[in-house]
């Protein structure tokens, strides 16, 4: 005849000690993934512009914005180191040395989706959806010219929201 024996109950103290360690591991692991994606985005983000949409391929904040939501007539090259387009608050995003991406508040009160590596070479593109884009584009002037050509082609309209 067999007899069943149970394990002795564990002390609660070591379990409570492990909870903060587990939380720290989870937070650092998640943070490491986000920082890794941001570092990759700082080197490899692209802005694909077509008559249909602007596609931002990069880190976790990448998205596709239909051309109909871009106010291309108001697009312009800006310097965000001073003036109304200066980044004043990060709401959700990454701010690493030499690279900022995600959602920020601007000095003029606007909400902006930001992909910036060089604050003096940024394209400002407002949208009809309540936010603007600030994009560091290597070919800044050509990008703005292409946006303005989209208006000429009848893709979108400019003006106040």
Q: Please give, one letter per residue, the 3-state secondary structure of 3-57.
A: CCCCCCCCCHHHHHHHHHHHHHHHHHHHHHHHHHHHHHHHHHCEEEECCCEEEEE
What global pTM score does this model have?
0.71
- Spell out the residues 6+ positions from residue 111 whose beta carbon is closer than 8 angstroms to its own: 91, 103, 104, 105, 130, 131, 132
Q: Is the pLDDT of residue 15 over 90?
A: no
The tens digit of pLDDT for each residue in 76-85 reads 999 898 889 9
Q: How many CB atoms lie within 10 A of CB 74?
A: 18
The tens digit of pLDDT for each residue in 51-93 reads 899 988 877 677 899 999 999 999 999 989 888 999 998 887 7
For residue 10, name the pLDDT band (cuts at 50, 70, 90).
Answer: low
Beta bridge partners of 58: none
Residue with tokens 């003029």: 108
Supply the pLDDT for residue 157. 46
Q: Is the pLDDT of residue 158 over 60?
A: no
The tens digit of pLDDT for each residue in 106-151 reads 999 999 999 888 888 899 999 999 999 999 888 889 999 999 988 7
Q: Give the Cα separation of 113 and 109 in Å (integer).
A: 13
């Amino acid at each position: 005849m067999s007899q069943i024996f149970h394990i002795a109950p564990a002390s609660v103290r070591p379990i409570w000690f492990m909870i903060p360690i587990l939380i720290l591991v989870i937070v650092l692991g998640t943070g490491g993934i986000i920082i890794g994606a941001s570092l990759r985005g700082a080197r490899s983000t692209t802005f694909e512009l077509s008559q249909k949409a602007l596609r931002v391929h990069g880190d976790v904040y990448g998205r596709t914005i239909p051309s109909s939501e871009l106010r291309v007539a108001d697009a312009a090259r800006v310097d965000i180191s001073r003036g109304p387009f200066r980044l004043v608050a990060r709401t959700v995003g990454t701010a690493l040395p030499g690279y900022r991406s995600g959602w920020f508040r601007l000095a003029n009160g606007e909400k902006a989706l930001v992909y910036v590596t060089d604050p003096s070479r940024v394209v400002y593109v407002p949208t009809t959806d309540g936010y603007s884009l600030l994009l560091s584009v290597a070919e800044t002037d050509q990008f703005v010219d292409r946006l303005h050509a989209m208006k000429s082609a009848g893709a979108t309209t400019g003006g106040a929201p």
